Amino acid sequence: AAPGVRRLSPYQPGKPLDALEREYGVRNAIKLASNENPLGPGPAAVAAARAALEGVGRYPDGAGFGLKRALAARLGVDAMQITLGNGSNDVLELVARAFLGPDTEVVYAAHAFAVYALVTQAAGARAVVVPARDWGHDLDAMRAAVGPRTRLVFIANPNNPTGTWLRAGDLEGFVRAVPENVLVVVDEAYFEYVDEPDYPDTVGWIAKYPNLITTRTFSKIHGLAGLRVGYGVSHPAVADLLNRVRQPFNVNSAAAAAAEAALRDEAHVARSRDMNRAGLRQLTEGTKKLGLPHIPSTANFVCIEVGQAAAVYEGLLREGVIVRPVANYGMPRHLRVTVGLPEENERFLKALDKVLGGSR
């Protein structure tokens, strides 16, 4: 194997529900572990995916014309600026494949989304991991870490797993300060959830900063994680390069049809956002009552400091609640909990109280 690949540790997904039933004999388990929308997709998206199945004898539209046109209209950009991906992870990988090589460096923050490390190493590039400040990206330190070999900077806004976010002024100051030959990827997988006045919509900045790439996804608020659709928005010249390394049919026809319908279903997005806002409050207030601190989050998940997280995680599994340990992110005292339905959040809080009961 290539040297970077040999050193890779694979991405660790959340424990699936059926595994919990098999391993622990727990029935009616709930999963708050993968930052999915607890409402799932809206009915229009599901109907569009079903209808698309009629045509699966043929290859999908390889250029993703319809979905790109719909996204371009929504975002106020040209369709030539969009790169479709099999999830936004695919777009992150395309960026690495198009721009990285053995003598290049990539800057990202400690506790940042795991896929940045994966795609950097797989491309044989060197990772420069910058220590966090208050669990979030330290943009001054990241700016200082950019050197002559730096080709890429990955920034998640908000970040997974910490839930921390960057304000428009700070992020734009960073993008302005970075040399033009360094690409800045701003990963906005949780964009639609954010409820903060100074939160930037970086798609609007691309005309000013041609080295900026914004990535977003249909996996989160649109509830289409299982179909795998994401996209990047960039300067057309960058999109052209990404499209050269893209597999010709990387977004399947059911996924593209569902994504187009989901984009039109603004009511489902609004419903999901409202439910998340209330659920995030339910989780943070509930854990505060248990005496547990959390990292302030503006996404659809929150990291709660539970102490010996591995033991608490195990205890929760026995109660039929799957959350996400984040020790692999250098956070052995936290658990990441995805906002669920109100009754699921309640069940998590009750289970957590019970599991911690013994140790308090």
Binding site for ligand PMP (CB under 6 A): 35, 87-89, 113, 156, 160, 187, 189, 217, 219, 225, 230
Q: Is 293 exposed, middle or buried (0-12, 13-18, 19+ CB in 10 A)?
A: middle
Distance between first and last Cα of the chain = 49
Q: How far is the CB of 16 from ligand PMP (least distance, A)?
A: 15
Q: How far is the CB of 87 from ligand PMP (least distance, A)?
A: 3
| Of 285, 312, 284, nearest in space to 300 by CA | 284
| Of 297, 300, 302, nearest in space to 349 by CA | 302
Q: How far is the CB of 58 from ligand PMP (least distance, A)?
A: 25
| Of 7, 234, 217, nearest in space to 118 by CA | 7
Q: How far is the CB of 98 from ligand PMP (least distance, A)?
A: 17
**And the tokens for 227?**
């179909």
Which CB atom, from 256 or from 355, has the smaller least distance to ligand PMP?
A: 256
| Of 252, 311, 348, nearest in space to 59 by CA | 252
Q: How far is the CB of 306 from ligand PMP (least distance, A)?
A: 21
Q: How far is the CB of 85 from ligand PMP (least distance, A)?
A: 7
- Interatomic CA distance for residues 140 and 313, integer angstroms: 35
Q: Is 184 helix (H, G, I), strand (E, B) or coil?
A: strand
Kindly provide the b/e burial profile for residues 123-134, where b requires at least 16 CB atoms within 10 angstroms of the residue's own CB: bbbeebbbebee
Q: How far is the CB of 357 from ligand PMP (least distance, A)?
A: 32
Which CB atom, from 174 or from 356, has the smaller least distance to ligand PMP?
A: 174
DSSP 174: H
Which CB atom, from 113 or from 313, has the smaller least distance to ligand PMP?
A: 113
> Between the CA of residue 14 and those of 73, 197, 255, 317, what are the distances in Å?
35, 32, 22, 12
Q: Which residue is nearest to ligand PMP (CB)?
A: 87
Which CB atom, from 37 or from 219, has the smaller least distance to ligand PMP?
A: 219
Angle, helices 309-318 vs 342-357, to 10°: value is 120
Q: How far is the CB of 215 from ligand PMP (least distance, A)?
A: 7
Strands, sheet with 334-338, edge to edge from the N-terminal-most edge strand = 301-305, 334-338, 324-325
Which CB atom, from 89 or from 282, has the smaller least distance to ligand PMP?
A: 89
Which CB atom, from 164 or from 243, has the smaller least distance to ligand PMP?
A: 164
Which CB atom, from 35 or from 284, has the smaller least distance to ligand PMP?
A: 35
Q: How far is the CB of 7 from ligand PMP (least distance, A)?
A: 22
According to DSSP, the residues that pair with 129 across neighbouring strands are 108
Which CB atom, from 60 or from 163, has the smaller least distance to ligand PMP?
A: 163
Q: How far is the CB of 354 from ligand PMP (least distance, A)?
A: 29
The string of DSSP codes covering 210-270 is TTEEEEEESSSTT--GGG--EEEE--HHHHHHHHHHS-TT-S-HHHHHHHHHHHH-HHHHH
Which CB atom, from 35 or from 250, has the smaller least distance to ligand PMP?
A: 35
Which CB atom, from 132 or from 349, has the smaller least distance to ligand PMP?
A: 132
